[in-house]
């Protein structure tokens, strides 16, 4: 059985075989079909995060400069929505996708039945300043625009102020930390998946399940999403949670007790989760779509997206906004960033997750 066959079966199971999901947001037709309308597909928190999000700022700034109407779509199933539409022969009523990652590209290449869904990226101004390790698409479709790093967030006020998070993966197995870690299911959560991959990077494909068995024996609590896990952390259900190394930006911005938002890079490493953008191959607005992608790479726009999305810019020359002075102080990059490449994950990622589910969730 080929990897493509396995991927198709898993995709149909996850997406459902009962047709195409309904879009959240407007379509180009809803917006009046104007030649000056650009439809951008993205994930919901890009435009309506509870803390802050870059979508509204991007929309206002781009529309003002380019005299166009920018419309966001936020389908619940993300890129999978468009893969389903393409396989069903339905119209792709969006021009650009913002929020691609290596996982979604692997699903795309395993499950798309017909012609290409995403176009190869053009040469864009300031693209030469993209940090090279963040480039995750070997076929040059996705252009990175930001990244996050996965770390532990821990509560220094726990145990009457005596709690200190371990410094290594092995340290999490110490009985002193029994029941102290909240993590996420890698099958349903990007942070959970990144943490799983970090353990595979550390212990190898032949050793990571033994490590997770040790975490399970030490009463790790695995929840379905980052929201679930972080919410439980906020309710003091455990003193450590798998999260992002920009956590202190959020904490400072909203007047939180910083002692409850300490960071720990296990083994002095953070797993990198770059996000990218690409133009849909069927878009008839190539020039406008390319202008939008180039706009997102401008140094001042990169700074705005990073500060508002509480992530890190993809370029080496960002200009951060004055209205978020805390960002540069509290956004912490790891001493060493680690990640798997597309080639390393293709044909392996789904199997690693399924093996994890059989051993951890099944017990």
- How far apart are the two ends of the chain, measured CA to CA in Å? 27
The pLDDT-based confidence of 362 (bands split at 50, 70, 90) is confident
Please tell me the predicted confidence (pLDDT) of residue 2.
32
Do residues 152 and 263 touch, judged by C-beta distance below 8 A?
A: yes
What is the Cα–Cα distance from 120 to 118, expressed in whole angstroms?
A: 7
- Burial profile 305-342: b = 16 or more Cβ within 10 angstroms, e = fewer: bbbbbbbbbbbeebebbeebeebeebbbebeebbbbeb
Model confidence over 259-305: pLDDT tens digits? Answer: 999 999 999 999 999 999 999 999 999 999 999 999 999 999 999 99
Do residues 184 and 222 touch, judged by C-beta distance below 8 A?
A: yes
Show the domains of the chain with their CATH numbers. 3-147+273-332 (3.40.190.10), 148-271+348-361 (3.40.190.10)
What are the distances in angstroms from CA 259 to CA 161, 162, 172, 262?
Answer: 9, 12, 20, 6
pTM for this entry = 0.86
Entry field: residues in the chain: 363
What's the half-sphere exposure (Cβ side, CA atoms, 13 Å) at 147?
27
Lowest-pLDDT choice from 9-13, 83-87, 309-313, 348-352 = 9-13
């Amino acid at each position: 059985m080929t990897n493509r066959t396995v991927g198709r079966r898993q995709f149909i199971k996850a997406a459902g075989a009962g047709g195409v999901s309904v879009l959240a947001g407007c379509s180009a037709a809803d917006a009046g079909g104007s030649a000056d309308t650009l439809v951008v597909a993205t994930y919901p928190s890009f435009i309506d995060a509870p803390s802050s999000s870059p979508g509204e700022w991007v929309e206002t700034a781009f529309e003002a400069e380019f005299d166009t109407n920018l419309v966001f779509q936020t389908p619940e199933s993300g890129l999978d929505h468009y893969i389903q539409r393409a396989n069903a022969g339905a119209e792709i009523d969006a021009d650009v996708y913002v929020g691609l990652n290596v996982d979604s590209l692997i699903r795309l290449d395993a499950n798309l039945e017909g012609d290409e869904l995403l176009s190869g990226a053009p040469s864009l101004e300031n693209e030469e300043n993209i940090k090279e390790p963040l480039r995750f698409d070997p076929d040059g479709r996705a252009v990175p625009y930001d990244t996050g790093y996965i770390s532990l967030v821990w509560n220094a006020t726990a145990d009457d102020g005596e709690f200190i998070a371990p410094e290594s993966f092995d340290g999490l197995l110490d009985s002193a930390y029994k029941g102290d870690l909240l993590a996420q299911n890698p099958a349903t959560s990007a942070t959970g998946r990144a943490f799983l991959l970090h353990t595979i990077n550390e212990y190898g494909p032949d050793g990571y399940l033994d490590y997770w068995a040790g975490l399970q024996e030490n009463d790790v609590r695995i929840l379905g999403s980052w929201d679930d896990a972080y919410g439980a952390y906020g309710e003091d259900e455990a003193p450590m949670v798998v999260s992002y190394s920009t956590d202190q930006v959020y904490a400072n911005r909203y007047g939180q007790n910083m002692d409850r938002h300490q960071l720990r890079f296990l083994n002095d490493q953070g797993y990198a989760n770059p996000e990218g953008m690409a133009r849909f191959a069927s878009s008839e607005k190539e020039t406008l779509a390319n202008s939008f992608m180039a706009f997102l790479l401008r140094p001042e726009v990169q700074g705005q997206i990073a500060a508002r999305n509480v992530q890190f810019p993809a370029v080496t020359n960002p200009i951060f906004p004055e209205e978020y002075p805390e960002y540069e102080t509290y956004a912490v990059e790891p001493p060493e960033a680690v990640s798997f490449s597309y080639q390393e994950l293709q044909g392996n990622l789904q199997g690693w997750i399924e093996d994890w589910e059989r051993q951890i969730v099944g017990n």
